[in-house]
Structure 1
Amino acid sequence: MRRARGGTDGLCIGAVVPRTGRLAKLGDPLSFVLERLAPRLSVPARGAGRRPVRLAVRDSLSQPAAARRAVAELVDQERVQLVVTMAGTKVLPAVADACEEAGVACVTTTFPWQAFVHGRGGDPRRPFAWTYHFAWGLDDIAAVFAEMWEQLGTRHTVGCLWNDDLQGGLLRHQEHGFVPVAAARGHHLVDPGGYQEPAGDFTTSLDFFREYGADIVTSAATAEDLALFHRQARERTLRPRLITCSRWLAYPRGATVTELDRAGVATLVYWSPRHPYRSSLDNTTAAQLADDYEQRTGNPWLQPLGPAHALLEVAVHALATAEDPTDRQAVADSVGRTRLPTMAGLLDWTTGPTPNVALVPLVGGQWKPSRHHRHELAVVANSRCPEIPLEADLTPAY
Structure 2
Amino acid sequence: MAEPVLVVGVVAARTGRLASLGDPLAFVLSRLRPELTRIVNGGRSYRVRLASRDSRSTAQGARQAVHELIADEGAHIVVTLAGTQVLPAVADACEEAGVPCVSSTFPWQVYYYGRGASDSAPFRFTYHFCWGLDTIAETFADLWELADGPERTVGCLWNDGPQGNWSRDAQRGFAPVARARGHHLVDPPAYTEPADDLTGHVEAFAAAGADIVTSAATGRDLARFRATAAEHGAAPRLITCSRWLAYPPSVTAEGRQPAQAHVATLVYWSPAHPYRSSLDGTTAARLADAYEQTTGRQWLQPLGLAYALFEVATYALRTADDPTDPAAVAAAVGRTRLETVAGPLDWTAGPVPNVATVPLAGGQWQPGRRHDYELAVVTTSRVDGLAADADLVVGR
TM-score, with structure 2 as normaliser: 0.95
Matched, 1:18 2:31: no
Match of 1:334 in 2: 332
Q: Using the alignment, how far apart are the partners of 2:330 and 2:167 within structure 1?
A: 30
Q: Using the alignment, how far apart are the partners of 2:250 and 2:368 within structure 1?
A: 16
Match of 2:112 in 1: 117
Match among 197, 220, 223 for residue 224 of structure 1: 220
AA matched with 1:225: D
Match of 1:243 in 2: 239
AA matched with 1:230: R
Q: Using the alignment, how far apart are the partners of 1:212 and 1:334 within structure 2?
A: 51
AA matched with 2:124: A
AA matched with 1:345: G
- Per-residue CA deviation, residues 305-331 of structure 1 (Å, 9 max, x unaligned), is 010000000000000001111111110
- Do the aligned residues in 1 keep the contact of 2:248 with 2:374 (CA within 8 Å)? no
- Do the aligned residues in 1 keep the contact of 2:278 with 2:340 (CA within 8 Å)? yes
- Do the aligned residues in 2 keep the contact of 1:223 with 1:251 (CA within 8 Å)? no
Q: Using the alignment, how far apart are the partners of 1:372 and 1:261 within structure 2?
A: 17
3-state SS, counterpart of residue 376 of structure 2? strand
**Cα offset for 1:9?**
4.8
Match of 1:185 in 2: 181
AA matched with 1:76: A
AA matched with 2:128: H
- Do the aligned residues in 2 keep the contact of 1:160 with 1:189 (CA within 8 Å)? yes
- Per-residue CA deviation, residues 233-291 of structure 1 (Å, 9 max, x unaligned), is 111111221100001212464446952343x1100000001111101100011111111
3-state SS, counterpart of residue 371 of structure 2? coil
Q: Using the alignment, how far apart are the partners of 1:282 and 1:362 within structure 2?
A: 25
Alignment map for 1:134-213 (pairs within 5 Å): 134-151=129-146, 152-213=148-209
Alignment map for 1:1-398 (pairs within 5 Å): 9-41=4-36, 42-47=38-43, 50-151=45-146, 152-251=148-247, 253-255=249-251, 259-262=258-261, 264-398=262-396
Q: Using the alignment, how far apart are the partners of 1:19 and 1:373 within structure 2?
A: 25
**Cα offset for 1:45?**
5.0
- Distance of aligned partners of 1:77 and 1:9 in 2 relative to their CA distance in 1, 3 Å threshold: farther
**Cα offset for 1:232?**
1.3
TM-score, with structure 1 as normaliser: 0.95
Q: Using the alignment, how far apart are the partners of 1:45 and 1:137 within structure 2?
A: 33
- Do the aligned residues in 1 keep the contact of 2:248 with 2:373 (CA within 8 Å)? no
Match of 1:4 in 2: none
- Do the aligned residues in 1 keep the contact of 2:101 with 2:125 (CA within 8 Å)? yes
- Do the aligned residues in 2 keep the contact of 1:163 with 1:221 (CA within 8 Å)? yes
3-state SS, counterpart of residue 129 of structure 2? strand
- Distance of aligned partners of 1:317 and 1:307 in 2 relative to their CA distance in 1, 3 Å threshold: same
AA matched with 1:171: S
**Cα offset for 1:293?**
0.5
Give the gaps of 5 or more residues in structure 1: 1-7
**Cα offset for 1:70?**
1.1
**Cα offset for 1:380?**
0.7
3-state SS, counterpart of residue 340 of structure 1? strand
Q: State the 4+ residue runs in structure 1 displaced beyond 6 angstroms.
A: none
**Cα offset for 1:51?**
2.8
3-state SS, counterpart of residue 248 of structure 1? coil
Give the gaps of 5 or more residues in structure 2: none
- Per-residue CA deviation, residues 144-181 of structure 1 (Å, 9 max, x unaligned), is 00001001211110000011001111000010000111
- Per-residue CA deviation, residues 11-35 of structure 1 (Å, 9 max, x unaligned), is 0000111111111111000000001
Q: Using the alignment, how far apart are the partners of 2:200 and 2:208 within structure 1?
A: 13
- Per-residue CA deviation, residues 34-54 of structure 1 (Å, 9 max, x unaligned), is 010011112115536x53210
- Distance of aligned partners of 1:11 and 1:386 in 2 relative to their CA distance in 1, 3 Å threshold: closer
- Distance of aligned partners of 1:198 and 1:325 in 2 relative to their CA distance in 1, 3 Å threshold: same
AA matched with 1:250: A
- Per-residue CA deviation, residues 107-137 of structure 1 (Å, 9 max, x unaligned), is 0000000110121111121110000000000
3-state SS, counterpart of residue 278 of structure 1? coil
Q: Using the alignment, how far apart are the partners of 2:375 and 2:42 within structure 1?
A: 45
AA matched with 1:357: V
Q: Using the alignment, how far apart are the partners of 1:305 and 1:371 within structure 2?
A: 21
Cα RMSD between the aligned structures? 1.5
Percent same amino acid at aligned positions? 61
Q: Using the alignment, how far apart are the partners of 1:274 and 1:16 within structure 2?
A: 28
AA matched with 1:303: Q
